[in-house]
Amino acid sequence: MKLEEIIKDIKPLDETAMKAARARQDTLTKPRGSLGRLEELSIQLAGMKADPFPSVERKAVIVMAADHGVAHEGVSAYPSDVTAQMVLNFVRGGAAINVLAHQARARVTVVDIGVEADFEPMPGLVRRKVLCGTRNMVQGPALTREEAQQALQVGADVLQEEAAHGLDLVATGDMGIGNTTPSSAITAIMTGLPVARVVGRGTGIDDEGLERKIKVIEQSLAVNQPDPGEALDVLHKVGGLEIAGLAGVMIAAASRRIPIVVDGFISTASAMIAVGLAPGVREYLISSHQSVEIGHQAMLKHLGLKPLLDLNLRLGEGTGSALAFHLIEASTRILREMATFEEAGVSDKES
């Protein structure tokens, strides 16, 4: 299904299911509201899934991988070769996301949407390369509009393929050396904040590298003049094939009433693009954690999201989302499995 049609399928949260979930929460054997955000989360999930007893047993992390032309400007502490090397690590099960996803009983799907290397066919790797990395956004648009649209469609297609295997909850993960640079650019453009206010150290660059990164982004914005009111214009001018792919995943997930657990800085940049293209996606987003990247707070404020965790994470891969899976599943199990006052024979608070 084409992205334009998928966007039309996005529905608001189901108020009837939310009302029923809220009513049940108020009858469970606890003081009303005493489980705080877990109660709020279960009600939100009921609305997302249009089910007063939502289940999130079938979980997946979709990790999109791509390279970035702007990495050649020295904006990362690691060489671009690491993107391809880490893709192989994901497929072999040796990365942090593999460990955390396994603990959460979630599958990991790795997608080559734009890595600057060719992979042989192998189990666990979905090869959907749009091109071998973006162009250098300092010199002009990182992607053409058509390439950006193609990458969005790849993400939507991958989500629909995952859903065919059974999917109740999806998390977004990324891999791409240099990708905090386009993510910072997206943040500056769409929030209107100065570049220096939203740029962090990414993989751990020093003070000189940070100053260079700020100047690279400022120059890119001056060269490309992206329109903050048009998400596709922003996406194609400053790029990120994995950013585009994850935005497509989010749009397709929302159209299927599948809650989306947004990881850190890069995934939240994707969420900004997804919501820019399809505002209805916003209601299906759950922010997993507060990233160390300084621009992340501005992103979350822009989207109106409150993260579940704050663990000083800055890895990506979907690691924060995999950790949040435990809280999200806990919220649904409380709603479904906890006894009501009547069922337990426990006296409720006197009215």
CATH code, domain carrying 31: 1.10.1610.10
Tell whether 17 and 145 lie within a shared domain. Answer: no
**Same domain (yes/no): 110, 211:** yes
Is residue 223 situated within a structural domain?
yes
150, 262: one domain: yes
In a shared domain, residues 89 and 137: yes
Does residue 23 lie in a domain region? yes
Burial of 263 (0-12, 13-18, 19+ CB in 10 A): buried
Q: Is residue 349 part of a domain?
A: no
CB 254 within 8 A of CB 280: yes
- Among 317, 337, 343, 350, the active-site one is 317
Query: What gap in Å lies between CA 198 and CA 183, rounded to an integer?
Result: 9
pLDDT value for 351: 57
Active site residue 120: no
pLDDT along the chain (351 residues), means of 10: 96 98 97 96 98 98 98 91 97 98 98 97 96 97 98 98 97 96 97 95 83 96 98 97 98 98 98 98 98 96 98 96 98 97 87 57
* 339 and 310 co-located in one domain: no
Confirm whether 315 is domain-assigned: yes
- For residue 213, what are its two tokens? 């990164």
Look up the CATH number of the domain holding residue 149.
Answer: 3.40.50.10210
User: Does one domain contain both 50 and 67?
Assistant: no
Instruction: Examine the domain organization and report whether 63 and 195 are in the same domain.
Output: yes
351 domain-assigned: no
Phi and psi based region of residue 100 (left: phi greater than 0; alpha: psi -120 to 50; beta: remaining): alpha
Kindly state whether residues 245 and 321 are assigned to the same domain: yes
Same domain, 126 and 44: no
Asked if residue 213 is part of any domain, the answer here is yes
Q: Is 230 domain-assigned?
A: yes
Query: How far is Cα 298 from Cα 235, in angstroms, rounded to an integer?
Result: 18
> Is there a single domain that holds both residue 33 and residue 137?
no
> What's the structural domain count of the chain?
2
> 11 in a domain, yes or no?
yes
E strand map for 76-208: 106-114, 125-127, 169-175
27 and 142 in one domain?
no
Note down the domain range covering 50.
3-54+335-344
DSSP class of residue 350 equals P
Considering the domain architecture, whether residues 218 and 89 belong to the same structural domain is answered as yes
Start-end of H helices in 9-72:
15-25, 36-49
Residue 329: which residues within 8 A CB-CB, separation 6 or more?
56, 57, 59, 104, 169
Q: CA-CA-CA-CA torsion for 303, 277, 124, 88, nearest 10 degrees?
A: -70
